[in-house]
Amino acid sequence: MFRQSEDDLLVETSPLPIQEIAEDRAITETLLPPTPKLLFKISKPEIRTSLRALTFESVFATVFYSIIGSALLTNFLLELGAGPVEIGLLASIPQLVNLLQPLGAYLVDRSPSFNWYSMCIFVPSRLLWVILVPAIWFVTSVTSNITGDQVVLLTLGIILVTNIIEALGRAPFLGWTAVLVPQRLRGRYFGFRNSLVSLTNLIGVPLLGLAVSTWPGGTLQGYGVVLVLGIVFGLSSLVSQFWLTDVNPQLLKVAHSETSQVQSGGIDLSFLKDANFLKFVFYIAIWCFAVNVSAPFFNLYMLDNLEIDITLVTIYTGISTGANMLLLLLWGKLADRIGNRPLLVFVGFLVGVTPLFWLGTGADPISLWVWLPLLHVLTGATWAAIDLCTNNLMMAVAPLSAQSKYFAITGAVAGVSGAIGITTGSFLATQAGGGGLLGLFVLSAVLRVVALLPLVFVQEERSVPLDRFWRVLFPARQPTELIEAEK
């Protein structure tokens, strides 16, 4: 079944499946300039093998990151005595280290292999978590002098170092992925892959949480055992990369030599001349700020303001993940059909006004069993499209010769603006007269809608004009009777 699903992706040779009417074909053809040719060719069997390996890599990595970067790690730190400051650092460190992504793009451009560069980055970063395993054993030992605060500091130190290392590899790995996944298949493939990732989270996280909470030696020892399992999965995901077709980043630098000038040296600031990319980055900056102003506080609102039980909040999270998983394949097919930008604009508007729906929630039975579940279904379904189409659009606006650099700049901007958004939201939520969390939700909704304005001006190949979005999505039925031509 798995092999058949990926093989079906490779059968489709038509760039866009919207050729039912002549007008739609004219629309798409005028938006599709010739795709530049690479200096190398990846065969269809290599693409098929790479897509399959990339899917397995994503699933294994999801298990690893769900253990070292989700509620499991937060609960572990709380059990050790961590406070709001430590939890805040846990959330902000991954955002801030994204500033180092451009350095990773600079380094990979001087590497002869995407595969070995990735190994040099991710193998050490994942093996560093082994240090935490004996620390957990010592802190749970009666005769040990190690305190919980010391293990908290050690954990935060590991998080800082590993995120610094991985920041150097995120943009290069995304650039490698962009080369391996054909542009015409990106929507469907990433929709398929992300749905498996969501399914892994939906099943894996509750099972891992159950294992931690029921471990005979206590939750701390339980997390230590789960952490060992996560490290094994993390290393297994790296083994899967050996089945990915390796690419020399040096070839990508000269692939567009006939249309781009070669930099003589120093810092390459040519992206500043790419107006379309700058529009996209401007959109990302405003969007990440607007989203993070309120995003960390929805669970806090349910747990603190509404005093909803943690079990019910976990059920809501599962509902959102399930909706995300079910809609990913649909969004992927639509993205291939009409483009990523139209979906981002229209679905982004739904995401923008979603915080306003929280104003009508409460602790009454209708809110608990109808309104809040529907809100989480809407959130999971819409964010499936936002995440998928944002990554695809980023791949589309970045030139092939400098994809890693463009991805790194985008990641750095998103990380910094997201961290500023979290800080701003935390400050405003504590101010008297600011409306509290509900006032924060209103502000976030306004900012999200405003953030969509720069996206209107971003150009994407393979996307239909916004004014013809509905006509292409729901084409009018053609008349069956032949019209006799005038003589």
Q: Based on the fold, state whether residues 54 and 189 are members of the same structural domain.
A: yes
Q: Which of 208, 225, 255 lies at the terminal end of a domain, its last residue?
A: 255
Is residue 76's pLDDT more than 50? yes
Q: Does one domain contain both 242 and 348?
A: no
Strand, helix or coil at 238?
Answer: helix
Q: Is residue 483 domain-resident?
A: no
Same domain, 281 and 203: no
Among 225, 255, 285, identify where a domain stops: 255
- The model's pLDDT over 117-143, given as tens digits with 9 standing for 90+, comes to 999 999 999 999 999 999 998 888 767
**d(Cα 400, Cα 16) in Å, to the nearest integer?**
21
**pLDDT for residue 265:** 47
Residues 419 and 373 both lie in one domain: yes
Residues 246-273 pLDDT 10s: 888 877 765 544 444 444 445 566 777 8
Domain annotation covers residue 66: yes
Q: What is the pLDDT of residue 21?
A: 26
Q: Is residue 486 part of a domain?
A: no
* CATH classification at residue 167: 1.20.1250.20
Domain boundary among 255, 287, 303: 255
Residues 349 and 247 in one domain: no
Q: Are residues 159 and 301 in the same domain?
A: no
Both 113 and 239 in one domain: the answer is yes
Whether residue 482 is contained in a domain is answered as: no
pLDDT(367) > 90: no
Q: At residue 7, what is the residue type?
A: D
What value does the mean pLDDT take over residues 61-90?
A: 80
Q: What angle is formed at CA 300 by the lines to CA 79 and CA 289, rounded to 5 degrees?
A: 110
Tell whether 36 is covered by a domain. no
Least confident of 22-26, 77-81, 309-313, 341-345: 22-26
Q: How far apart are the first and last CA of the chain?
A: 57
Where is average pLDDT lowest: 30-44, 53-67, 187-201, 325-339? 30-44
Q: Which of 67-76, 147-156, 387-396 has the weakest average pLDDT?
A: 67-76
Question: For residue 249, what pLDDT is reported?
Answer: 82
Q: Provide the pLDDT confidence category of residue 237 given band limits of 50, 70 and 90.
A: very high
Please say if the pLDDT value at position 80 is more than 50.
yes
Q: Mapped to the 3 state alphabet, what secondary structure does the chain carry?
A: CHHHHHHHHHHCCCCCCCCCCHHHHHHHHHCCCCCCCCCCCCCHHHHHHHHHHHHHHHHHHHHHHHHHCCHHHHHHHHHCCCCHHHHHHHHHHHHHHHHHHHHHHHHHCCCCCHHHHHHHHHHHHHHHHHHHHHHHHHHCCCCCCCCHHHHHHHHHHHHHHHHHHHHHHHHHHHHHHHHHCCHHHHHHHHHHHHHHHHHHHHHHHHHHHHHHHCCCCCHHHHHHHHHHHHHHHHHHHHHHHHHCCCCCHHHHHHCCCCCCCCCCCCCCCHHHHCHHHHHHHHHHHHHHHHHHCCHHHHHHHHHHHCCCCHHHHHHHHHHHHHHHHHHHHHHHHHHHHHCHHHHHHHHHHHHHHHHHHHHHCCCCHHHHHHHHHHHHHHHHHHHHHHHHHHHHHHHHHCCHHHHHHHHHHHHHHHHHHHHHHHHHHHHHHCCCCCCHHHHHHHHHHHHHHHHCHHHHCCCCCCCCCHHHHHHHHCCCCCCCCCCCCCC
Tell me what pLDDT residue 161 has: 94
The Cα angle at residue 473 between residues 471 and 475, in degrees rounded to 5:
50
Shared domain for 275 and 215, answered yes or no, is no
Question: Does residue 203 sit within a domain?
Answer: yes
Domain limits for position 53? 44-255
pTM tops 0.75: no
What is residue 42's predicted lDDT score, i.e. its pLDDT? 79
The verdict on 372 and 235 lying in the same domain is no
Within-domain flag for 37:
no
**What's residue 475's pLDDT?**
66
Same domain? 251 vs 274: no
Q: What is the mean pLDDT of residues 25-35?
A: 30
Q: What is the percent of the chain with per-residue pLDDT over 70, rounded to a whole number?
A: 81
User: pLDDT: is 73 or 164 the higher one?
Assistant: 164
> What is the average per-residue pLDDT within 39-61?
86
161 with 282, same domain? no
Residue 473: the pLDDT is 65
pLDDT value of position 185: 80
Domain count of the chain? Answer: 2
Assigned domain for 107 exists? yes
CB count in 10 Å sphere of residue 106? 16
The tokens 């902000």 sit on which residue? 92
Mean of the per-residue pLDDT values of the chain? 79
pLDDT of residue 27: 27
- Same domain, residue pair 203 and 330: no
Average pLDDT over residues 207-236: 89
The whole-angstrom distance between residue 59's C-alpha and the CA centroid of its chain comes to 14
Q: What is the mean pLDDT of residues 466-472?
A: 69
pLDDT in tens, 422-450: 888 878 877 766 667 888 899 999 999 99
